[in-house]
Structure 1
Amino acid sequence: MASNTSSENIKVTNMVNDCLIMEIRNIKDPRGTIAVIEKEVIPFDAKRVYYLYDVPSDATRGGHAHKELYQFLIAISGSFDVILHDGTNPKKVTLNKPNKGLLIKPGIWRELENFSSGAVCLVIASEVFKEDDYIRDFEKFKLFKSR
């Protein structure tokens, strides 16, 4: 198997406490509120944006980690829990405010669960979809983290 790709050499030392809740700037007036996500809000260039909706309350999304990808998750509407794991430590973060987002760094396992009715999860990602960036098996993830 050839290839000594950058994903084989990346820093995998990110821990759950390196995943940060970040404030999103709001502009309020009598007509409503605008939330603004500009370059200074997230520490990466956005290359993909997608959202999850109509997720049943008993469903789980995610169930993977990324080798290189950064993600910024926002509960645009409703709420959901994000279960983070760094191979050793779990951490649960509840997202329920559209003016706060969760920065998930590479090398962190994530699962999304407990979606409220009408919840919408917006995801801003640092890269386009690349299947080889995913680790979809938790045991393989733990091996990846132990390198």
Structure 2
Amino acid sequence: MDIKLIQFQSHGDERGALVSLEESKNIPFEIKRVYYMFNTIQDVRRGFHAHQKLKQLAIVVKGSCRFMLDDGKEKIEVPLDNPSQGLFIDSLVWREIFDFSDDCVLVVLADEIYDETDYIRNYDEFIKLVNNDS
């Protein structure tokens, strides 16, 4: 599985740092939805789903967490702890998010608005779909 981490240009001086996010420049899609997670209870795992079409970019703007990505053939763990970097998550990739630091703030940009019918919430169904089984 090809993991795509997008490095953002960080501007800063003694006052602090700034990262600018612009669709079709450093974000590889049109942004239609933004959400964020914070105050996640320690030892909680989130996600447990894939999307049929949706593409996302996950950015830890504070703290850290880990992603487990699974394309049906390979599972890869990806740590996120750099606010100048985004993790691109393509469609048909199962994701689980875990190991949240106490101060973690995770922002996710998506290329579509929320649509429950796009979710694949059953892992066995996900495996059948990606392996073209009936």
The question of a shared fold, defined as TM-score above 0.5 by the shorter chain, is answered with: yes
Structure 1 stretches of 4+ with a deviation exceeding 2 A read none
Q: TM-score, normalised by structure 2?
A: 0.95
Kindly indicate whether residue 14 of structure 2 is the aligned counterpart of residue 30 of structure 1: yes
**Residues 24 and 99 in structure 1, CA contact (< 8 A), matched pair in contact too:** yes
SS at match of 1:124: strand
Stretches of structure 2 lacking an aligned partner (at least 5 in a row): none
2:83 to 98, 115, 137: 98
1:111 to 85, 93, 96: 96
Structure 2: how far apart are the matches of 1:99 and 1:145? 32
2:61 to 62, 76, 84: 76
Q: How many residues align?
A: 131
Structure 2: how far apart are the matches of 1:57 and 1:111? 15
2:48 to 40, 56, 63: 63
Measure how far apart 1:32 and its partner are. 1.2
Structure 2: how far apart are the matches of 1:36 and 1:29? 15
Measure how far apart 1:37 and its partner are. 0.9
Stretches of structure 1 lacking an aligned partner (at least 5 in a row): 1-15
**Residues 23 and 100 in structure 1, CA contact (< 8 A), matched pair in contact too:** yes
1:3 counterpart residue number: none
Root mean square deviation, CA, Å? 0.8
Q: Which runs of structure 2 are paired with 1:13-28 in the superposition (5 Å)?
A: 16-17=1-2, 19-28=3-12
Q: TM-score, normalised by structure 1?
A: 0.87
Structure 2: how far apart are the matches of 1:119 and 1:92? 17
Q: Which runs of structure 2 are paired with 1:106-145 in the superposition (5 Å)?
A: 106-145=91-130
Answer 1 or 2: which has greater helix percent: 1
Q: What one-letter code is carried by the residue in structure 2 that aligns with 1:33? A: A
1:13 counterpart residue number: none
Show CA shifts across 1:88-134 (max 9, x none).
21000000010011000001000000001110100000100000100
Structure 1: how far apart are the matches of 2:38 and 2:74? 28
Structure 2: how far apart are the matches of 1:90 and 1:52? 23
